[in-house]
Each structure stands twice: as C-alpha cells, then as structure tokens.
Structure 1
Amino acid sequence: MNEQAQKYWDTFWLGKAKPQNVSAWQFGASPDELAQLVIDGVKSATCSGHIFYELEKEPLPKVEDYSVILNSQDEPVCIIRTSEVTITPMNKVSEEFAYAEGEGDRSYEYWKKVHVQFFTNALKEVGLVFSEEMDLVCERFELIDIK
C-alpha cells in the first residue's frame, strides 16, 4: 500500500478498531471510470481471472477484506469491504452479477464483450489463451467511505 493510501486508511479508522485485512489497488482497464462507478453507487461487484492470482502468488480475496481503491494516479478514492466471493467459470456468470459490475449499459452482452476482450489481452501478455470456461474470482462489495 502506498503512503497516501495508508494515511487514508489510518485516518478513516482513527479511534476505532482497525481491521488488518486491507489492500490497495486499481480496477482493471479504466481505473478512474470504474472507481467513479463505485463512488456513484452503480458498481458493487468485480471479477478477475483466477489464473492471475496463481501467477502473481496473491491470496484470493475473502469476505470481510477491505480495499482502498486507487485512481489511475495511485491516489486513494474510497474504501470498500468484500461481502461475497465466489469462483465461477466465465460462461456461468449470471446476468445479475454482470449488472452489479455496473459497466456500460449494464447488460450481460456488454459485460461479456468487454471481459472477453480484457481477458484475451491480459492472458496473451502472459503467454496464455483465453477460454470462456476460465475461472473467475467474482467479488461483491460494499462502499464504506469516500475520500
């Protein structure tokens, strides 16, 4: 976590019992736009390829994890708390989950199109090939604070 994110996190919890399970990160392809959707109450879910956690040796998110969401300049913009985590093949993601991701027109068709493109490119960068059967780590979250 960078210094700005750590300061925001510490200040938010000042005088309260501070959870230790926190990370700081940006949303995928459009960090500013996606963070704004969270702040606006439109976006309450996100997903990532399970394979990326394995490749980066990162632990999977868990319920009650907190995240400081960063913009494209690595500045903190809000805090979220993970409320649900499921591992789901991409071709089994529900329309309701796609809607909760809050992107585009919020349709399943839009969600699928942009995620196929995103995962195809991201996998190609690490020498892997996209498949609609790839496992996704699907997270639902609650907005806790806006900076």
Structure 2
Amino acid sequence: MTEIQMWNEYIKINKNAKNYEAWSFGGNTPDMPDLLAELVLRGIKTATASAYPCYVAENAPLPPVGGYNLILNTKGEAVCITETIKVYTIPFNQVKEEHAYKEGEFDRTLTSWRKCHSEIFTMELKEIGQEFTEDMLVVCEEFKVVYPII
C-alpha cells in the first residue's frame, strides 16, 4: 500500500487527523528499517530515539505530541500509522532501562540499546560534522499504532 492510500484509509476512521510525517527508521544495517517497522506493527516497539543535534542542524522541530507518523519500509511502502504520545530530551547517558525496553530491539536491555544507538548516532553526527558524546541530548519519542488497528 502506498503512503497516500494508507493515509486516505486512516482519515476515513479519524476525520480529525489533518497531516502526518512519513519516514522510515534508520539503522546500522540495510534491513534494520524493515525489522523495526515490523516491531512497531506487532506492538513490540513503542518508542524511538534520535540525536538532538541532528534536529538543531536541520532546524527541524521536535515531533509533536499528537502528531501522526506514517512508517515506511525500505521500498517506500506504508507499514502503519503511529500517534506520538510523549516526547522528551535527555542526555544519552541518562536514558533509562524503561525506554530501552519500549524500543523493543535486540534483548530490550539498556546495555544493548546504548551499544546500538551510540554506533548509529556516531554515524549520523559524523554526517553533520559533529561527534557523539555520552552526554549529548537524545530525543525520546513514545507512540502507539493507530492504523491498522491491532
């Protein structure tokens, strides 16, 4: 299903939904975006994290609470729609075990979350001429799947 087809299906059941951001997850392997999208669709992954300096570099706003995200796979096909329910910034080294668990990746521990995300953030920050640090701010976002209804 295309992004527009899925959105049109969703607004039939939620007439208050006005707009959305379409995106796919990043990752340090080519298949990671699809794996993460599947975890979201199955209700396992209910959170994500981004490097705050990337928002600053792009002069981009943080995800709004109540905002809709149309999650895409690596082929650009629509997988699901989520609604953001919580957004906060926190230093990388202060992210809690609870957040790591909600991200649903690997063994869902903070140790594996930190290892994976430090690698990803290092790559992303290098692209904007910055370096990863343990105390850099991270944008933590929590969401729920609103379509398809699971």
1:9 to 7, 10, 15: 7
- Paired residue type of 1:145: Y
Match of 2:141 in 1: 139
Q: Structure 2 matches for 1:1-147, cutoff 5 A?
A: 4-14=2-12, 16-29=14-27, 30-146=32-148
C-alpha distance after superposition, 1:39-75 (max 9, x if no partner):
1111000010111112122221111001100001111
- Paired residue type of 2:100: A
SS in 2 for 1:43: coil
- TM superposition score normalised by structure 1: 0.92
Question: Shift of the alpha carbon at 1:35?
Answer: 0.3
Between the aligned partners of 2:42 and 2:14, the Cα distance in structure 1 is: 26
- Paired residue type of 2:113: W
Structure 2 CA distance for partners of 1:46 and 1:15, relative to 1, 3 Å? closer
Question: Shift of the alpha carbon at 1:115?
Answer: 0.5
Between the aligned partners of 1:26 and 1:81, the Cα distance in structure 2 is: 15
- Paired residue type of 2:6: Y
C-alpha distance after superposition, 1:18-55 (max 9, x if no partner):
42241100011111000001111110000101111121
Between the aligned partners of 2:6 and 2:60, the Cα distance in structure 1 is: 23
Question: Shift of the alpha carbon at 1:16?
Answer: 4.0
Unaligned runs of 5+ in 1: none
Structure 2 CA distance for partners of 1:129 and 1:15, relative to 1, 3 Å? closer
Unaligned runs of 5+ in 2: none
* Coordinate RMSD, CA, aligned: 1.6
SS in 2 for 1:6: helix
Identity of aligned residues (%): 42
How many pairs align? 145
Between the aligned partners of 1:143 and 1:36, the Cα distance in structure 2 is: 12
Between the aligned partners of 1:33 and 1:102, the Cα distance in structure 2 is: 11
Between the aligned partners of 2:148 and 2:116, the Cα distance in structure 1 is: 27
SS in 1 for 2:117: helix
